[in-house]
Amino acid sequence: MTAPVLGTPALAVEFAAPMPGLSPHTSFSLEPIAGADGLYALRAADADLRLFLLDADGDDGYAPSIPAAVRADIGAEHDDDLRILVVANPGDDGVYVNLRAPIVVHRGTGRATQAILEDQAYPVRALLGS
């Protein structure tokens, strides 16, 4: 079996544990949104459930330190194994992202978890582009 690669039409993503508020769902697909580079829909495999995720490539200064326990949950030994995405929530006054709880995906396996960072420097609700 070939390992999934992010950026393909759809990537199977299996969470090590359900994300807070989304129990019992752990199986998802990550689908790029056409015409919106770096924006994805995370869809539950067995329910009508969707979240929007943004690629957090670190170009804007966002470079959270991912704890060893989070890395172990998804079998990632090296930084190169990790793909970091953030949950995006549209609002009346713009799009907000949760920088305190990134989605961490193993690039090679699609294994994922939501990391809850202790670093208070990253807000739970940050207006995108501000």
> 50-72: per-residue pLDDT in tens?
999 999 976 678 889 999 999 99
- Residue 9: band (very low, low, confident or very high) from pLDDT cuts 50, 70, 90: low
Output the DSSP codes for the chain: -PPP-TTSS-EEEEESSPPTTSTT--EEEEEEPTTSTTEEEEEESSSS-EEEEEE--STTS--PPPPHHHHHHHT--SGGGEEEEEEEEEETTEEEE-SSS-EEEETTT-EEEE-----TTS-SSEETT-
> 76-123: per-residue pLDDT in tens?
999 899 999 999 998 899 999 999 999 999 999 999 999 999 888 899
The first and second tokens of residue 23, run together, are 């129990």
Distance CA 67, CA 82 (A): 12
CATH assignment, 11-127: 2.30.290.10
Residues, the chain: 130
Asked if the model's pLDDT at residue 4 lies above 50, the reply is no
Closest by alpha carbon to 83, among 1, 4, 23?
A: 4
The structure's pTM equals 0.87
